[in-house]
Amino acid sequence: MDVSALSNLIRALARADWDAADALAGEIGGSGWVGGLQVIGAAFALAVHRRFDADATPTEVAAWVSATRAQYEEGDTLPALEMEGLIRAALGEEELADNIPAETMIAAEVFVLGQLLLEAKMSPAELDEFVDDAEQVAAEYL
């Protein structure tokens, strides 16, 4: 897996460059996301920890997911329970991700990651540091 494509996907999400993000996701998806789960998972976990306190309640997570889904015309098609479960798993309730299919997991993680990056409004330097951190965390599992 080309880690630079994954890093570029993270950057495209942070810029809300949906055309680039879709193209990159298609390119990465064509390879079956081999190795991509680790990089996206690492970026997802880092973004979750930036946004939520370690002791965030299920109600706080559910409220964020609900508000985020409501922003989109097709928000009702986004997997709310899976999104909540993945966020809570990143915060320490790992078992909540156990039964989420890989294709649902990656789609939810990419969507949530994109939303968290948009909320964070990182400078280019902060985004570079974030991507470097995600690559380093993922490298431990590749």
Q: What confidence score (pLDDT) does residue 76 get?
A: 63
Span of 52-61, 71-80, 112-121 with lowest mean pLDDT: 71-80
Token couple for 14: 């942070």
Enumerate the domain spans of the chain. Answer: 3-139
For the chain, percent of residues with pLDDT exceeding 90:
56
In this structure, the number of other CB atoms found within 10 A of the CB of residue 87 comes to 29
If pLDDT is split at 50, 70 and 90, which confidence band does 103 have? Answer: confident
pTM: 0.88
If pLDDT is split at 50, 70 and 90, which confidence band does 124 have? Answer: very high
Can you tell me the distance from the alpha carbon of 71 to that of 107, in angstroms, rounded to the nearest whole number?
17
Environment class of 49 (CB within 10 Å of its CB; exposed 0-12, middle 13-18, buried 19+): middle
Q: What confidence score (pLDDT) does residue 35 get?
A: 63
